[in-house]
Structure 1
Amino acid sequence: MSSRHSPVSRPITIRRAVARDAKRLTRLVRGSGAYAGKYAAAVAGYRVGPDYIEAHRTFVAVGADEYGGRILGFYSLVLAPPELDLLFVDDEVQGRGIGRLLVAHMQSEARAARLDRVKVVSHLPAEDFYHRAGAVRIGTALANPPAVPWDRPEFEFRVSPE
């Protein structure tokens, strides 16, 4: 098994994002390998700003010593209407369970906000991840050129009460 796909072996802390995280989160989005090639235009000018972090429930996964305390991934939960707006994991650490940790944390936040479901409009290369993470396919978001010139699968996480 390659190190790229070895499970998380060191503690990962999930904390609320703060304004000073904005540049790193923007770099994660723009540098995502899932948006290479024909998908690059969708994130080329994308920016996660301090205002966005303040307006939404944005959380970061921070690695322990093994990762030098750096941000390994993040997600953003919009409460109204309930949607997982962003979920990114650094390409270097994908396959180690960080995305699943972020999804579990998002579901906990959704439960605390008394949401019973959270919609996700998935990027095509992330479709299998959402399916494996327990999301249910509910439809298709139609293309919206020029920003997104392709249809995207829509999923929903069903959030069970405590």
Structure 2
Amino acid sequence: MQSTTIRRAVAHDAQRLTSLIRQSSAYQGRYASIVSGYRVTAEYIAQHRVFVAVDASDQILGFYALVLEPPELDLAFVADEAQGLGIGRHLIGHMAVQAREAGAASMRVVTHPPAEKFYLRMGAKRVGTVAPSPPKVAWERPDLQLTIPTAKRES
């Protein structure tokens, strides 16, 4: 994996995060409606725990947004060109540390159907499905629970 840093998102990242979402090949075709018109705003970044994975030139490779009340992974995206490089795994590991430090024992993840396998590989378990909510979401979505591992103790 290339040199990647995870940092807290700042207001000027909002447009780049919006572009990353809207350009995601995972949300083309039948899934395009869910991101159509979606915007990550500076206010959203200020009100949530949003973290970005960036390369040495500060190009955003992916990001996630963590909500703690109740604990849920609200958004998680990896840029198409960064798929398969371990960025998603790195972001989820970082999210788990943030959640654990905030006192969460598990996180809800309502995911895009094609992303379910990724979260299952990360240790999530399917606990149900979320019904469609047309017109934006015309399909069921996997409802997952990701247990946050406890911190490893050093001997």
- For the aligned pair, the TM-score class normalised by the smaller chain equals over 0.9
CA distance in 2, matches of 1:156, 1:51: 27
Equivalences, count: 151
Alignment map for 1:39-118 (pairs within 5 Å): 39-64=31-56, 68-118=57-107
1:18 to 7, 10, 13: 10
Q: Structure 1 unaligned runs (5+)?
A: 1-7
1:144 to 127, 133, 137: 133
User: Quick check: 1:131 aligned with 2:123?
Assistant: no
CA distance in 2, matches of 1:13, 1:160: 22
TM superposition shift of 1:44: 1.0
TM superposition shift of 1:160: 2.5
Instruction: Provide, for residues 102-147 of structure 1, a one-character-per-residue CA deviation record: whole Å limited to 9, x for no partner.
Output: 0000000000001000000010111111111111111101111112
- TM-score of the pair, normalised by structure 2: 0.95
Report SS of the residue matched to 2:133: coil
2:128 alignment partner AA:
G
CA distance in 2, matches of 1:117, 1:20: 30
TM superposition shift of 1:11: 1.6
CA distance in 2, matches of 1:97, 1:23: 24
Instruction: Provide, for residues 50-76 of structure 1, a one-character-per-residue CA deviation record: whole Å limited to 9, x for no partner.
Output: 010011100000012xxx330100000
2:41 alignment partner AA:
G
- TM-score of the pair, normalised by structure 1: 0.91
2:110 alignment partner AA:
V
CA distance in 1, matches of 2:40, 2:62: 13
CA distance in 1, matches of 2:126, 2:116: 9
TM superposition shift of 1:47: 0.4
CA distance in 2, matches of 1:141, 1:35: 18
CA distance in 2, matches of 1:142, 1:57: 26
1:34 alignment partner AA:
A
CA distance in 2, matches of 1:103, 1:37: 26
Structure 1 runs of 4+ off > 4 angstroms? none
| RMSD of aligned residue pairs (Cα, Å) | 0.8
Q: Structure 2 unaligned runs (5+)?
A: none
